[in-house]
Amino acid sequence: MHTLQCLLGSKGGVIFSSSRGKNIILLVSSWFHGLNIYLFSLFLGDTVTIGDVSFKLKTPKNPEFVPQNYMTDSLAQAIVHHLRWIMQKDLLGQDVFLIGPPGPLRRSIAMQYLELTKREVEYIALSRDTTETDLKQRREIRDGSAFYLDQCAVRAATEGRILVLEGLEKAERNVLPVLNNLLENREMQLEDGRFLMSAERYDKLLQSHTKSELDAWKIVRVSEDFRVIALGLPVPKYSGNPLDPPLRSRFQARDVYHLPFKDHLQLLYSIGSNISTERISQLLSFATTLCSQESFTLGLPDFPLDSLSAAVQILDSFPMMSVQHVVDRLYPYNVFLGKEGRTAVKDALKRFELQDSESHLLPQRITKVERAHGNKPFKADVTVQIGEKEVTFQVPAGTGLLKKHSRSDTFIKTSSHNQLLAEMMQSHMVKDMCLIGGKGCGKTVIAKEFADILGYSIEPIMLYQHFLLSLLECSSKISSHCKPK
Domain contains 34 = no
Query: Based on the domain organization, do 209 and 313 belong to the same domain?
Result: no
Answer whether 226's CB lies under 8 Å from 163's CB.
yes
Q: Which of 329, 352, 375 is the last residue of a domain?
A: 352
Answer whether 67's CB lies under 8 Å from 114's CB.
yes
Sign of CA dihedral 435, 440, 442, 448: positive
**Residues contacting 107, CB < 8 A, separation 6+:** 164, 166, 231
pLDDT at position 114 is 96
Query: Based on the domain organization, do 464 and 329 belong to the same domain?
Result: no
Domain contains 23 = no
Query: Based on the domain organization, do 315 and 404 belong to the same domain?
Result: no
Domain count along the chain: 3
Q: Position 78: which residue type?
A: A
Query: Based on the domain organization, do 162 and 272 belong to the same domain?
Result: no
Query: Based on the domain organization, do 178 and 133 belong to the same domain?
Result: yes
Distance CA(68)–CA(56), nearest Å, equals 19
Domain contains 175 = yes
Domain contains 208 = yes
Domain contains 18 = no
pLDDT at position 408 is 67
Domain contains 165 = yes
Rounded to 5°, angle at Cα 367 from 363 and 371? 115
Query: Based on the domain organization, do 151 and 299 belong to the same domain?
Result: no
Between β-strands 389-396 and 379-386, what pairing exists: parallel, antiparallel or unpaired? Answer: antiparallel
Distance CA(40)–CA(43), nearest Å, equals 10
End-to-end CA distance of the chain: 58
Answer whether 252's CB lies under 8 Å from 296's CB.
no
Query: Based on the domain organization, do 75 and 150 belong to the same domain?
Result: yes
Phi, psi of 197 (to 5 degrees): -130, 145
Residue 408, CA distances (Å) to 411, 446, 447, 449, 455 in order? 5, 13, 15, 9, 15
* Ranges of H-type helices in 196-241: 199-208, 211-216
Answer whether 78's CB lies under 8 Å from 259's CB.
yes
pLDDT at position 471 is 67
Q: What is the pLDDT along the chain (485 residues), one digit of tens a residue?
A: 333 333 333 333 333 333 333 444 444 444 433 222 333 444 445 888 888 888 999 999 999 999 999 988 778 889 999 999 999 999 999 999 999 999 999 999 999 999 999 999 999 998 888 888 888 988 888 888 888 999 999 999 999 999 999 998 988 877 888 888 888 889 999 988 999 999 999 999 999 999 899 999 999 999 999 999 999 999 888 888 888 888 888 899 999 999 999 999 999 999 988 899 999 999 999 999 999 888 888 888 999 999 999 999 999 999 888 888 999 999 999 888 889 999 999 999 999 988 876 667 888 889 999 988 877 888 999 999 998 889 999 999 998 888 766 666 777 888 899 999 999 999 999 989 999 888 888 899 999 999 999 999 988 888 877 777 666 665 444 334 444 44
Q: Position 375: which residue type?
A: N
pLDDT at position 221 is 93
Rounded to 5°, angle at Cα 62 from 58 and 64? 115
**DSSP string spanning 327-362?**
HHHH--HHHH--HHHHHHHHHHHHHTT-S--TT-B-
Query: Based on the domain organization, do 344 and 233 belong to the same domain?
Result: no
Domain contains 26 = no
Query: Based on the domain organization, do 137 and 268 belong to the same domain?
Result: no
* Ranges of H-type helices in 186-258: 199-208, 211-216, 245-248
Range of 163's domain? 47-255
pLDDT at position 483 is 42
- Taking each continuous run of H as one helix and of E as one strand, the counts in the chain are 18, 19
Between β-strands 47-50 and 35-43, what pairing exists: parallel, antiparallel or unpaired? Answer: antiparallel
Query: Based on the domain organization, do 287 and 228 belong to the same domain?
Result: no
Distance CA(324)–CA(448), nearest Å, equals 28
Which CATH number covers residue 200?
A: 3.40.50.300
pLDDT at position 45 is 52
Query: Based on the domain organization, do 470 and 338 belong to the same domain?
Result: no
